[in-house]
Amino acid sequence: MKLVQAVIAILAGYAIISQGIPYLGSQLHHGTWPVVPTSLMKVYMFFVVVGVLTVFTFSEETKEELMAPIRAVYGKSSMVLVRMVVILLVSAVGAGVTYESIKPSFDSPVELRSIHPAPPSTISAYNKTINILTVTNPYRDDKENFAENVKQGGIVYYKNCFYCHGDKLAGRGHYYHGYFPVPANFQDVGTIAQLQESYLFWRIATGGPGLSKEATPWLSAMPIWKDFLTEKEIWQVILFLYDYTGHSPRVM
């Protein structure tokens, strides 16, 4: 039946675009799973549907085969029950698509996690002025004690941070659903992998109140950790974040 073949072809096109392309991307860049933007999905699926209909209506014969089941359902009086079921199913699918497109979401828009607010050039912390543009993690090059510093950073994280950022560092801690935007997902290649360690030091040390007015979309509930953690503990937890996720900090 041509109608069934057409539906299968459209579903196959959707599967290739939504799952096949991201899978190929994940094979090219291990540890990632690219997502096809919704706007592109709509464009690609438009061409898939048009292409399938063009093929299946190329001749009068195939066109008649494609339309025959539709005419039978909507044209024959004996198909009243089937016709009502089809109408209800189509209406339900339409309602579901509409609901999914308009329902509120508590997840941060992608843009908020790919465009990071600019840090200040300096901050005041631990009774001194720290230059965020030039400061480096003093414990990263300490190879002899690196493992111990990472371990201590993990202890700091699980005592203070995992409640929001999660035990797997994926931004899904016990309290994440109570915040907007939600806590950062450190496993995401769009977060700490794109940042220098000095940037993380600024964000952790000064928390949400340390953000400038220009960073309004990034309003954050993160505490001012410099009031609770030592400078060494912040650098150690930064080491732990990169070590656990397997990411490397940006160097420049």
| Residue pLDDT, tens place only, 88-121 | 998 998 898 888 878 776 665 544 444 578 888 9
57 and 84 both lie in a single domain:
yes
- 3-state DSSP call for residue 112? helix
Q: What is the mean pLDDT of residues 120-144?
A: 94
Choose from 15-29, 64-78, 103-117, 222-236 the range with maximum mean pLDDT: 222-236
- What is the DSSP code (8-state) at residue 193? G
What average pLDDT does the structure give for the chain?
86
Global model pTM greater than 0.75: no
Residues 224 and 117 in one domain: yes
Q: Say if 42 falls within a structural domain.
A: yes
| Backbone torsion region of residue 32, taken as left when φ is above 0, otherwise alpha when ψ lies between -120 and 50, otherwise beta | beta
Do residue 217 and residue 180 come from a single domain? yes
User: Quick one: average pLDDT of 1-25?
Assistant: 86
Domain limits for position 168? 110-245
126: left (phi over 0), alpha (psi -120 to 50) or beta: left
Number of domains in the chain: 2
Report the distance separating Cα 113 and Cα 163, nearest Å. Answer: 20
Q: Are residues 52 and 151 in the same domain?
A: no
Distance CA 87, CA 44 (A): 27
